[in-house]
Structure 1
Amino acid sequence: MALPISKITFPSSPITAAAFTYTKRHTSEAVYNHCVRSAYFALLLARKLPSLAAAKPDLEIVALACVLHDMGWSFNKALLSEYKRFEVDGADIARRFIAAYEGVDKKNWGEERVQRVWDAIAFHTTRSIAPFASPEVAAAHLGITADFTGPRFPCDPFGDPAARPSAPRAVITVEEFREILTAFPYAGFGEDAAKEIFCGLCRDKPASTFDNFVGGFGREFGFDGKGAGREVYRETWDEAMKPQRLLENFGYLRDLLEGKE
Structure 2
Amino acid sequence: MSSTTAPFPTFPVSQITMPSDHLFTSAYAFVKEHCSRATLNHCLRSVAFSLILFRKFPPLATNADIDKDAVVLSLLMHDMGWATSSSSLTSNEKRFEVDGADIARNFIRTETGGGTGTSNGGKWDRHRLQLMWDAIALHTTPSIAHHKEPEVLATQLSIMAEFFGPHLDAAVPGCSITVDEYKEVLAVWPRLGFKEEMRQTLCGFCRDKPETTLDNFVSEYGRIYGLDGKGGERDGFVKLCDENNIVRRLEGGLAALETYEN
For the criterion TM > 0.5, the same-fold answer is yes
CA distance in 2, matches of 1:70, 1:251: 39
The alpha-carbon deviation at position 156 of structure 1 amounts to: 5.4
Which string of whole-angstrom CA distances, capped at 9 and with x for unpartnered residues, describes residues 20-59 of structure 1? 0100000010000100110111121122211222334211
SS in 2 for 1:92: helix
Whether contact under 8 Å (1:39, 1:143) holds in the other structure is: yes
CA distance in 2, matches of 1:210, 1:195: 16
- Pairs within 5 Å for 1:194-205: 194-205=198-209
Q: Which contiguous aligned blocks of 4+ residues in structure 1 show a shift greater than 6 angstroms? A: none
Partner residue in 1 for 2:133: 118
Question: 1:176 pairs with 172, 181, 184, which one?
Answer: 181
The alpha-carbon deviation at position 115 of structure 1 amounts to: 0.6
Partner residue in 2 for 1:24: 32
SS in 2 for 1:150: helix
Whether contact under 8 Å (2:83, 2:89) holds in the other structure is: yes
Partner residue in 2 for 1:149: 164
Partner residue in 1 for 2:3: none
Partner residue in 1 for 2:5: none
Note the aligned Cα RMSD (angstroms): 2.0
Which string of whole-angstrom CA distances, capped at 9 and with x for unpartnered residues, describes residues 89-134 of structure 1? 0000001101111476367211111111100100001121112211
CA distance in 2, matches of 1:245, 1:156: 32
| Matched residue type, 2:70 | I
CA distance in 2, matches of 1:64, 1:130: 17
Instruction: Give aligned pairs, total.
Output: 247
Partner residue in 2 for 1:227: 231
- Pairs within 5 Å for 1:40-55: 40-55=48-63
CA distance in 2, matches of 1:145, 1:15: 25
Unmatched 5+ stretches in structure 2? 1-7
CA distance in 1, matches of 2:223, 2:169: 27
Which string of whole-angstrom CA distances, capped at 9 and with x for unpartnered residues, describes residues 52-74 of structure 1? 22334211000000000000000
Partner residue in 2 for 1:162: none
CA distance in 2, matches of 1:229, 1:194: 18
SS in 1 for 2:62: helix
Whether contact under 8 Å (1:33, 1:184) holds in the other structure is: yes
Greater Cα shift, 32-41 or 10-19: 10-19
| Matched residue type, 2:36 | S
Whether contact under 8 Å (2:134, 2:152) holds in the other structure is: yes
Whether contact under 8 Å (1:151, 1:171) holds in the other structure is: yes
Partner residue in 1 for 2:105: 95
Partner residue in 1 for 2:192: 187
Question: 1:215 pairs with 219, 238, 246, which one?
Answer: 219
SS in 1 for 2:194: coil
CA distance in 1, matches of 2:136, 2:111: 18
Change (3 A) 1:53 1:79: same
Greater Cα shift, 130-139 or 96-105: 96-105
Whether contact under 8 Å (2:102, 2:133) holds in the other structure is: yes
Matched-pair identity in %:
43
Which string of whole-angstrom CA distances, capped at 9 and with x for unpartnered residues, describes residues 200-242 of structure 1? 1110111111111111110011011111110010000000115
Change (3 A) 1:31 1:155: same
2:55 corresponds to 1:69: no
Partner residue in 1 for 2:42: 34
